[in-house]
Amino acid sequence: MRKDRRQKTEDGRQKSRERKRPGETQYEVRHTRYEMRQWLLLLLIFCWMAAGFAFFDGAETGESPGVTPPKDVKRIVALAPNLTEILFALGLDERIVGVTLFSDYPAAAAEKPKMGAFWQPNIEAVIAAKPDLVVTLEFPQQKDVVRRLERIGYNCLTVNIERVSELFEAIDRIAEATGKDAQAAELASNLRSGLDRLAGLMGSNEKTKVLWVIGAEPLRVAGRDTFVNELIELAGGENAIGRTVHKYPPIGSEQVIACAPDVIIEPAMGSKTVPEQQEAAFRYWSRFKNVPAVANDRIYVIPPDTVCRLGPRLHQGVEMVARCIKPELFAD
């Protein structure tokens, strides 16, 4: 019996040694695993944000009717960063009593009480905020929160924002529920004007092929059935990736070479600065010397906020991408 226990202990130690790389301490192994978990979390967050939370392939769609909001909404909780931005853009900032983590725009949003993360809302915090209206997005984690809140009598407004057209619909529905129809009309008009201006500037000439990267290990990119694809097209480009089964498919070296992107774009992730990540990107892609984007030094790491949130700053995000696609048009 003792012999068996000693043997199991020794086997466990042996497996632990095998998992370590030569010269690597047990602390370094644990630290590496921690960094990997953090990276995976950041990747998941980006995937949710980059396409209006369309990362859930096959998830239920449609909008929950919820409870009819009261006519005079005075206390609002927003359960996603882009919803917070819409509320501020409609002039509802003084009525907002709760937002989620990463709701940092405009600056005043960061000072609002936090209701947990948008992918894991804190229902106790929401209830403590005593909202007249809770604005949510259509995806599984938030749908569960909505069911629980409505069961105890809270008013919820659920919107689906996975496409640009749905952004305008969401703005209208939130405005209708909060008495901000005039502000919504002005906001929508300004958004459309900004997009029309960029479309006129970019023209309809031959499209630049863009590879949009959301992760390097493994290499994962944005496919065509995503908000990111709309962003690329609005900016005058074309997704270098053809039709895929998954919204954000992993791809190999052969596919990178075959799709021959003219431009590679990576939204920044993690704690390193954009210049640091830009240098890392050049090092990573240097192995693909025959890919046009690499050969011509057209690899761009860009700040993530305006290209990761389908919200009122859409035209700013499109312009940022357009500046990568046709920088000569923005000589200012």
Distances (CA, A) of 317 to 37, 192, 279, 321: 28, 13, 22, 6
Provide the pLDDT for residue 10: 54
Of the chain, the percentage scoring pLDDT greater than 90 comes to 68
Residue range(s) of every CATH 3.40.50.1980 domain in the chain? 76-179, 204-329
137-175 exposure pattern, b = at least 16 Cβ within 10 A, e = fewer: bbbebbbebbeebbeeebbbbbbbbbbbebbbebbbbbb
Instruction: Render pLDDT for 300-326 as a digit per residue (tens, 0 to 9).
Output: 999 998 898 999 999 999 999 999 999
Distances (CA, A) of 309 to 13, 163, 313: 46, 11, 8
CA atoms 274, 116, 216, 228: torsion sign: negative
- For 276-290, the three-class secondary structure string (H helix, E strand, C coil) is HHHHHHHHHHCCCCC
CATH number, domain 204-329, options 1.10.150.650, 3.30.450.20, 2.170.120.40, 3.40.50.1980: 3.40.50.1980
How are beta strands 219-221 and 208-216 bridged, if at all?
Answer: antiparallel
The SS3 assignment for 91 reads: coil
- Count, residues in the chain: 332
Give dist(CA 47, CA 267) in Å, integer: 11
- The amino acid at residue 1 is M
Least confident piece of the model among 19-33, 79-93, 191-205: 19-33
**Looking at the predicted structure, is the pLDDT value of residue 70 above 70?**
no
**Looking at the predicted structure, is the pLDDT value of residue 9 above 60?**
no
List the alpha helices (DSSP H) in the chain. 2-19, 26-50, 81-89, 123-128, 140-151, 164-178, 181-202, 227-234, 253-259, 274-285, 292-295, 305-308, 314-325
Instruction: Say if CB 115 and CB 129 are below 8 A apart.
Output: yes
- The amino acid at residue 143 is K
**Looking at the predicted structure, is the pLDDT value of residue 52 above 50?**
no
Fold of 76-179: Rossmann fold (3.40.50)
Q: Any residues with CB less than 8 A from the CB of 21 and at least 6 apart, and which?
A: none
- The amino acid at residue 48 is W
Provide the pLDDT for residue 75: 97
Least confident piece of the model among 42-46, 84-88, 122-126, 225-229: 42-46
Instruction: Render pLDDT for 157-182 as a digit per residue (tens, 0 to 9).
Output: 999 999 999 999 999 999 999 999 99
Instruction: Render pLDDT for 80-117 as a digit per residue (tens, 0 to 9).
Output: 999 999 999 999 999 999 999 999 999 999 999 999 99
Task: Quote the pTM value.
Answer: 0.79
